[in-house]
Structure 1
Amino acid sequence: MAGGWSRDGTVQEQIDASTEDSVKQATSKIPAGESLIHCAECGETIPRARREALPGVRYCIQCQTELDKQASNAAGINRRGSKDSQLR
């Protein structure tokens, strides 16, 4: 059912696009490759168990926790084509 000037399926396309963007963003953050032995942020040794559990890990637990906090504070919702995003 189309409403106003939109064609059928427009709302679902917006939902799908937002979901796809979120999945791409999340998968881009997954580490890959060889793990570092020392943290890229503070230089502390990354425990062997962490390096084996997360291939491609670059940060110690403390630095990764801090980076995750900073990222969650900056995250927002942007729904393409929504009225709210057009008003900003």
Structure 2
Amino acid sequence: MATGWAGDGAVQDQIDATVNDAIKRARSQLPQGPGLAHCEDCEKPIPEARRKAVPGVRLCVTCQEAHDREQATFSGYNRRGSKDSQLR
């Protein structure tokens, strides 16, 4: 049952859009190209096993973990679903 001006399936469309946005963001952050032998942040050598396991790797495990923690602070807040965004 839809209320207001929302069409049938509007909620599912919003969920699908949120998931698709998250997938696009994750894919855009995947390393591309040849991997590095040394971390681009701290210059420490990247082990060969990591270079084989992660194609295009650019960071050592320590720097990658720090980068991942930093990225986790940015939530995937969906502006499309925000009433505030509809008022602007």
| Cα-Cα RMSD | 1.9
Post-superposition offset of 1:81: 2.9
Name the count of aligned residue pairs: 88
Matching residue of 1:31: 31
Matching residue of 1:15: 15
The gaps in structure 2 that reach 5 residues or longer are none
Post-superposition offset of 1:77: 2.2
CA contact (8 A) 1:14 1:79 kept: no
Give the whole-Å Cα distance in 2 for the aligned partners of 1:76 and 1:10.
19
- Amino acid aligned to 2:78: N
TM-score, scaled to structure 1: 0.85
Give the whole-Å Cα distance in 2 for the aligned partners of 1:19 and 1:76.
10
Matching residue of 2:53: 53
Greater RCO, CA 8 A, separation 6+: 1
Alpha-carbon deviations, 1:4-56, whole Å to 9, x = none?
A: 11111111111111010011111112212210011000111111110011010
Which SS does the other structure have where 2:73 is aligned? helix
Matching residue of 2:69: 69
CA contact (8 A) 1:39 1:58 kept: yes
Post-superposition offset of 1:84: 6.0
Give identity over the alignment, percent.
Answer: 54
CA contact (8 A) 1:78 1:85 kept: no
The gaps in structure 1 that reach 5 residues or longer are none
